[in-house]
Structure 1
Amino acid sequence: MMLLKDILYGVSLSAVSGSTNIMVNEVHFDSRKVEMDDVFVAVRGTITDGHEYISKAVESGAIAVICEEFPELMVNGVTYLKVDNSNSALAVIASNFYENPSKNLKLVGVTGTNGKTTVTTLLYDLFTKAGYKVGLLSTIRVMIHDKQYPATHTTPDVLSINKYLSQMNEEGVEFCFMEVSSHGIHQKRTEGLHFAGAIFTNLSHDHLDYHKTFAEYRDTKKKLFDDLPKSAFCLSNVDDKNGLVMLQNTKSKKLTYALKSYADYRGQILEKQFDGQLLKIDENEIWTKLIGDFNAYNLLAIYATACELGLDKIEILRLISELETVDGRFQYFISKDKIKAIVDYAHTPDALKNVLITINALRTGNENVITVVGCGGDRDKSKRPVMGHIASEMSDQAIFTSDNPRSEPPMDIIKEMENGVEPQNTKKILSIEDRGQAIKAACKLAASNDIILVAGKGHETYQETKGVRTDFDDYKELQKALESLNK
Structure 2
Amino acid sequence: MVTLQDILYQVKIRSVNGNLQTAVNGLQLDSRKVNSGDCFIAVKGVHQDGQQFIEKAIAAGATSIVSETFPEQSRDGITYVQVENASEAAGLMANHFYGEPSHQLQLVGVTGTNGKTTVATLLYKLFTALGYDCGLLSTVQNRIAGQVYEATHTTPDAISINALLRQMVDAGCRFAFMEVSSHAIHQRRIAGLQFAGGVFTNITHDHLDYHETFDEYIRVKKMFFDQLPPQAFAISNLDDKRGQVMLQNTVANAYYYSLRSVAEFKGKILENGLTGLIMTINDQEVHFRLIGEFNAYNLLAVFGVASCMREDRQEVLRCLSVLTGAEGRFDYVITPREHIMGIVDYAHTPDALENVLKTIRELRKGDEKVITVVGCGGDRDKAKRPVMAQIACDYSDKAIFTADNPRSEDPAEILKDMEAGLNTAGRKKYLSIADRREAIRTALTLAGPGDIILIAGKGHEKYQEIKGVRSHFDDKEELENFIGLLDK
TM-score by length of structure 2 reads 0.98
Q: Please give the per-residue CA displacement for 1:87-138, whole angstroms capped at 9, x wherever unaligned.
A: 0111100000001000001000000000000000011001101110000000
- Is 1:271 the counterpart of 2:271? The answer is yes
Partner in structure 2 of residue 447 of structure 1 = 448
Aligned length: 487
Distance 2:326 2:390 in 1: 27
Using the TM superposition, give the Cα deviation of residue 456 of structure 1 relative to its aligned residue in structure 2, in angstroms: 0.7
Partner in structure 2 of residue 460 of structure 1 = 461
1:26-425 matches, cutoff 5 A: 26-335=26-335, 336-425=337-426
Unaligned runs of at least 5 residues, structure 1? none
Distance 2:352 2:56 in 1: 44
Using the TM superposition, give the Cα deviation of residue 180 of structure 1 relative to its aligned residue in structure 2, in angstroms: 0.4
Using the TM superposition, give the Cα deviation of residue 425 of structure 1 relative to its aligned residue in structure 2, in angstroms: 2.2
Using the TM superposition, give the Cα deviation of residue 287 of structure 1 relative to its aligned residue in structure 2, in angstroms: 0.3
Q: Please give the per-residue CA displacement for 1:205-259, whole angstroms capped at 9, x wherever unaligned.
A: 1100000000111111111101000010000001001111110111100111111
Q: CA RMSD in A?
A: 0.9
3-state SS of 1:272 partner = strand
Distance 2:36 2:364 in 1: 64
Distance 1:432 1:466 in 2: 18
Distance 2:325 2:477 in 1: 17
Using the TM superposition, give the Cα deviation of residue 341 of structure 1 relative to its aligned residue in structure 2, in angstroms: 1.2
Using the TM superposition, give the Cα deviation of residue 340 of structure 1 relative to its aligned residue in structure 2, in angstroms: 1.3
Q: Which amino acid aligns with 2:60?
A: S
Distance 2:485 2:61 in 1: 58
Distance 1:114 1:57 in 2: 38
Distance 1:309 1:144 in 2: 20
Mean Cα displacement is larger for which, 257-266 or 229-238?
257-266
Q: Please give the per-residue CA displacement for 1:278-324, whole angstroms capped at 9, x wherever unaligned.
A: 01001100001101110000000000101111210000000011101
Distance 1:342 1:32 in 2: 41
Q: Please give the per-residue CA displacement for 1:349-377, whole angstroms capped at 9, x wherever unaligned.
A: 00000001111122123111100100011
Unaligned runs of at least 5 residues, structure 2? none
Distance 2:362 2:77 in 1: 69
Using the TM superposition, give the Cα deviation of residue 52 of structure 1 relative to its aligned residue in structure 2, in angstroms: 1.3
3-state SS of 2:110 partner = strand
Mean Cα displacement is larger for which, 269-278 or 291-300?
269-278
Is the Cα contact below 8 Å between 2:5 and 2:21 reproduced in 1? yes
Q: Which amino acid aligns with 1:27?
A: L
Distance 1:243 1:480 in 2: 42
Q: Which amino acid aligns with 2:435?
A: D
Distance 2:484 2:459 in 1: 20
Is the Cα contact below 8 Å between 2:22 and 2:79 reproduced in 1? no
Distance 1:485 1:32 in 2: 48
Distance 1:403 1:165 in 2: 32
Sequence identity (%): 55
Q: Which amino acid aligns with 1:464?
A: E
Distance 2:2 2:206 in 1: 41
1:2-13 matches, cutoff 5 A: 2-13=2-13
Distance 1:43 1:108 in 2: 26
Q: Which amino acid aligns with 1:198?
A: G
TM-score by length of structure 1 reads 0.99
Mean Cα displacement is larger for which, 32-41 or 222-231?
32-41
Distance 1:157 1:19 in 2: 27
Using the TM superposition, give the Cα deviation of residue 263 of structure 1 relative to its aligned residue in structure 2, in angstroms: 1.2
Using the TM superposition, give the Cα deviation of residue 174 of structure 1 relative to its aligned residue in structure 2, in angstroms: 0.3
Using the TM superposition, give the Cα deviation of residue 424 of structure 1 relative to its aligned residue in structure 2, in angstroms: 1.7
Distance 2:363 2:23 in 1: 64
